Chain A
């Protein structure tokens, strides 16, 4: 599978044409129940098993010997005239035919979900390079994906993940609804755990590439910020460019971009106003130049400190989100645990109630007949379901005597 992943990465620049219609694959894959989508990947879940065999020194494959034994036995049976059910005729077919039994509903649906997750994975891997490359719209030769397209991918992937996890939930609910043996139940919940884990791994793939994208955009911004010219005009043009980008950004980077449009107009307006005044061709007096320069310095300083602050906040936000993720997971785990504790408590309460009732039932008649000094402790020795006469006999012969003494 590692090789498979690798080829997707390599293949994506070549398959440039296909990548452009970025909405195609996820749209097709969005309905986890579309049967047509499955045709492309038959038996995707088992591909791992069929890869070329490596000759190993330790284990010896005697499958062929087994097949040969089957044939030997068959001929022998034929010679002896023993009728063996099923496989006597059509030996060749029989050897290679798959099991005629229909696959269970559960496993086929599980595989369906897996193949959908697999599609998401393939899709993500296919577009990984374009998605990550934040410069693509500047350098025209890589111009394959715009930010709107990336946002589309984000959105689709998220919807898709949600659908998949819903499908798993559904499957889980269903798997336990039908009455099965303990082993089957255990098996199914393990299978579902596997699928969930798989989905998690694929989601991680997505969040990783999304993190890279965000980081690249931030880096790019920093680079443009570092440009040496303190010219407000170029700065402004840069900001405007960023502002145009702004709607495509997601929440995590918004703090940065929103900071600027507010501050810039407020602080830069008077300056611009002076430029725009009628005496444009006049030389500025040295004092004025000095003043402007000072103001520029001040502005730059302010911007820098703001920027640093924003970056710090950004880092914190990332950390907090990571923590939140961990906490969510823990809380969910605890929820399950609390549920099971609750169940146990309810069960225990029921048991105690029943026990008390049983004791009360027994207490009545026995006490009336043979009064005992240590009633309740005594009754705890007995199984209340014993027939009454056994109880009475036992009580008189063993316990009764000893307790009476």
Chain B
């Protein structure tokens, strides 16, 4: 029985696991059972912004309702007392949160309190609450106190980010700031490690950790190893005993955690992309699985388009329930546009069917004979009526994707993103360009200054030999003329120089060419409908640097790039500092975690990579999820700080 349960649990994705954990928490920390005739139980949910970010991608408001949540309120908002209801709290154990909870206890806001902390609460803070509860003589009302270890945000079945609220704290900028003090760095690392620790508690597995030397990733690895080790040693309170040991017996395999530093590959986050999800993230406001659109009603082909243009904000949730999204988020954009069209046609056919039925029923025409017809068509009518909600849901999804895809397409057309994508692919694969880089940069119609900067940076990063000073000056002038801020270029220059000096760079230039060897097949036959004027580019699968590192480590391949990666096994009694792995078998499960920020391009690349491998799983995580714009902003900022610290750099 236990075995079956654990086997099932091992197969569950991190998304399911976190959802189950949340549901159990909402059910007063008792496993949630679905029951058709159970008595209704109700409660209110109080969360802080962290809790909100964790819950919102996983549970919809309707699902919360089904769990008996009547109200969900932010901790730091005006809340009215509801004296006859139990309250479930889901908050970070921060100073101000604790204060507010104590205040709630004093004010006797609710009938009883189920306190859940996103990550472990310290003893002294627990005593603060105890003190407040005593003072308010509300000790008995505090029904349950739990450490939930859920301090990470799951966005997909196989993707997570650390946090959203204080992401500046663990951003690329924060890690690469030249003026960072040791204590500040400690805080950054502790925050990352705490979240990663929560992640592994929820995953229920102790990983084997690999990381590159001399990077921020190594610091994370050392700290995480220490934290896991301490928890395992304390057998009585260990979070990995019991159930998880059972899991180990059944899978025999521990997952591999590959900690990667953002600085090993700066080109990918700048790359213009061509897959649906990554494009949405690149050009639209896409945040925690919700996309915010600003659309003018004139865009649609409906009669409403006749009205004067008016901007209205709309937000859509792109959830795993959305079949279309699930199927196409990794598809190249032209394919997506085509599929939207197909879906629309099949929907129209269904709609016509319903309409036809309506006219048969005589509901539109004459009344005579309607009654006799009615009896012949009751069965049809019933099926039509019962299929209506499904049809409506389908329509909603089609509308959603039509709007999103249209918005993306507008950006592609306006900024000539297809040209950029094609060019960058060519640069990376060292194919000869049919138009010089300077031409694009100085073409006023092609893209924003930022697009130009991204293109040039990729060229600069992946060039084996830096362009001559004279050439560089020419490029710089063109970029400045195009309205670019040159700070990012300066930073990349410094970074490249540093990377050459650092230990592993010998193979960098070489591998970059290989890794970036994304061959693009250009099909100049433009699609017939919406895609006119946009090239129909099809991706060819090539592994990005991160994927290549993972491949080496997971398959135990020897490669100069990854051979000196450090090896940690928190289960081994004594920490060994060698980079020689004890385990020579290939791994079945791996987690890639990018310290310093990740993106959907890498995620998609990993997903595509693992598709070809039977029975293997990959999870992708990052300290922060950014698109090129946000990344460039951070790079600018780091360079600015760098200048302040070392003024003679320029």
Measured in the bound complex, the distance between the Cα atoms of B139 and A94 in whole Å is 8
Give the residues in chain A near B604, CB-CB below 8 Å.
none
Query: Are the CB atoms of A114 and B39 closer together than 8 Å?
Result: yes
Question: Which residues of B have CB within 8 Å of A204?
Answer: 36
Distance of B71 from chain A, by nearest CB (Å):
5
User: Interface code A199-217, partner B: CB below 8 Å = 1, 0 otherwise?
Assistant: 0011011000000000000
Cα A94 to Cα B24 in complex, Å, equals 28
Point out the residue from A55, A57, A121, A190 that lies within 8 Å of B42, measured CB to CB.
A190
When the two chains form the complex, which single residue of B37, B127, B386 contacts A201, counting CB atoms closer than 8 Å?
B37
Taking a contact as CB atoms closer than 8 A, the residue among B71, B111, B134, B150 that contacts A186 in the complex is B71
Complex Cα spacing A96 to B140, Å: 6
- Which residues of chain B are near A96, meaning CB under 8 Å? 140
Q: Are A2 and B239 CB-contacts (below 8 A) given A49-B41, A69-B127?
A: no
Q: How far, in angstroms, from A94 to B143 measured CA to CA in the complex?
A: 13
Interface string of B116-138 (1 = CB under 8 A from A): 10001101001101110111111
Task: Indicate if B29 sits at the interface (CB-CB under 8 A).
Answer: yes
Q: Chain A residues with Cβ under 8 A from B41's Cβ?
A: 45-46, 48-49
Q: How far is the CA of A253 from the CA of B566 in the complex (A)?
A: 79
A70 touches B204 (CB 8 A): no
| Cβ-based interface call for B240 (8 A) | yes
In the complex, are the beta carbons of A320 and B378 less than 8 A apart?
Answer: yes
The B-contacting residues of A in range 71-108, CB under 8 angstroms, are 72-74, 77, 84-87, 94-99, 101, 103-104, 106-108
Known: A84-B135, A183-B82. A62 touches B70 (CB 8 A): no
Cα–Cα distance between A56 and B22 once the two chains are bound (Å): 12
Contact with B along A310-348 (1 / 0, CB 8 A): 000000100110110010000000000000000000000
Q: Once the chains bind, are A326 and B385 in contact (CB under 8 Å)?
A: yes
How far in angstroms is the closest Cβ of chain A from B151? 12
Residue B44, interface by CB 8 Å: yes
**A198 interface residue per 8 A CB criterion:** yes
Closest A residue to B243 using CB positions: A57
B131 touching A59, Cβ below 8 Å: no
B242 touches A55 (CB 8 A): yes
B456-514 interface (Cβ within 8 A of A): none
Q: Judge if B141 is at the interface, Cβ distance under 8 Å.
A: yes
Does B149 lie within 8 Å of A59, measured CB to CB? yes
User: Binary interface profile of A, 216-232, with partner B (CB < 8 Å = 1, else 0)?
Assistant: 00000000000000000
Choose one: B73, B127, B136, B149; the contact of A72 (CB below 8 Å). Answer: B127
Closest Cβ of chain B to A307, distance in Å, is 17
Q: Are B121 and A319 in contact (CB under 8 A)?
A: no
B24 / chain A contacts, CB cutoff of 8 Å? 56, 59
Beta-carbon contact of A66 and B145 below 8 Å = yes
- Interface size class of chain A, counting residues whose CB lies under 8 Å from the partner chain: 35 or more
**Measured between C-beta atoms, what is the minimum distance from B586 to chain A in Å?**
26
- Give bound CA distance, A48 to B44, whole Å: 16
**Chain A's nearest CB lies how many Å from the CB of B578?**
31
> Given contacts A49-B30, A59-B147, are A72 and B135 in contact (CB under 8 A)?
no
Is A101 a contact partner of B44 (Cβ separation < 8 A)? no
What B residues does A183 contact at CB under 8 A? Answer: 71, 73, 79-80, 82
Most chain A C-beta atoms within 10 Å of own C-beta, residue among B73, B116, B148, B385: B385
CA separation between A194 and B80, bound complex, in Å?
A: 21
Please judge, given known A-B contacts A2-B35, A184-B80, whether A59 and B382 are in contact too, CB under 8 Å. no
- Residues of chain B within 8 A (CB-CB) of A103 are 84, 111
Taken residue by residue from 201 to 219, chain B's Cβ proximity to chain A (1 for < 8 Å, 0 otherwise) reads as 1101000000000000000
B130 and A94 contacting across the interface, CB-CB below 8 Å: no
Contact of A48 among B39, B73, B112, B148 (CB under 8 A): B39
Closest to B245 in A: A57
A15–chain B nearest beta-carbon distance, Å = 20
Complex interface: chain B residues within 8 A of A244 (CB): none
Whether A316 and B378, one on each chain, are in contact in the complex, defined by CB atoms closer than 8 angstroms, is: yes
- Cβ-defined contact, B82 with A184, below 8 A: yes
- Say whether, besides A46-B41, A183-B79, A87 and B144 are in contact (CB < 8 Å): no
CB pair B30–A53 under 8 Å, yes or no, is yes
A69 touches which of B36, B40, B123 (Cβ 8 Å): B123
- Interface status of A197 (Cβ within 8 A of chain B): yes
Specify which chain B residues have a CB less than 8 angstroms from the CB of A402 in the assembled complex.
Answer: none
Q: Mark A152-194, 1 if CB is under 8 A from B, else 0.
A: 0000000000000000000000000000111110110011001
Contact A190 B142 (CB under 8 A): no
Q: Is the CB of B126 within 8 A of A69?
A: yes
Residue pair A323, B68 in contact (C-beta under 8 Å): no
CA distance A2 to B35 in the complex (A): 6
A61 touches B82 (CB 8 A): no
B575 close to A (CB within 8 Å): no
Is A60 a contact partner of B147 (Cβ separation < 8 A)?
A: yes
Q: B48-88 CB contact bits vs A (8 Å, 1 = yes)?
A: 00000000000000000100101101000001101111000
B71 contacts A101, C-beta separation under 8 Å: no
Chain B positions within 8 Å of A326 at CB level: 385-386
Q: Is B146 an interface residue (CB 8 A)?
A: yes
Task: Pick 6 A–B contacts, CB within 8 A, sort by A.
Answer: A58-B148, A60-B239, A73-B127, A85-B135, A87-B134, A323-B385
Which B residues are within 8 Å of any A CB, using their own CB?
17, 21, 24-25, 27-31, 33, 35-42, 44, 65, 68, 70-71, 73, 79-80, 82-85, 108, 111-112, 116, 120-121, 123, 126-127, 129-131, 133-150, 201-202, 204, 237, 239-240, 242-244, 375, 378-379, 381-382, 385-386
Which 8 A-B pairs rank lowest in CB-CB distance, beginning with the nearest? A86-B137, A190-B70, A107-B84, A104-B84, A194-B40, A181-B80, A69-B130, A1-B38
Interface residues of chain A, those whose CB is within 8 Å of chain B, are: 1-2, 5, 44-49, 51, 53-63, 65-67, 69-70, 72-74, 77, 84-87, 94-99, 101, 103-104, 106-108, 114, 117-118, 121, 180-184, 186-187, 190-191, 194-195, 197-198, 201-202, 204-205, 316, 319-320, 322-323, 326
In the complex, besides A66-B142, A107-B85, 16 extra interface pairs with C-beta distance below 8 angstroms are A5-B35, A49-B30, A53-B29, A54-B30, A58-B202, A59-B146, A60-B147, A62-B145, A63-B144, A63-B145, A66-B145, A70-B133, A70-B134, A72-B130, A104-B83, A202-B37
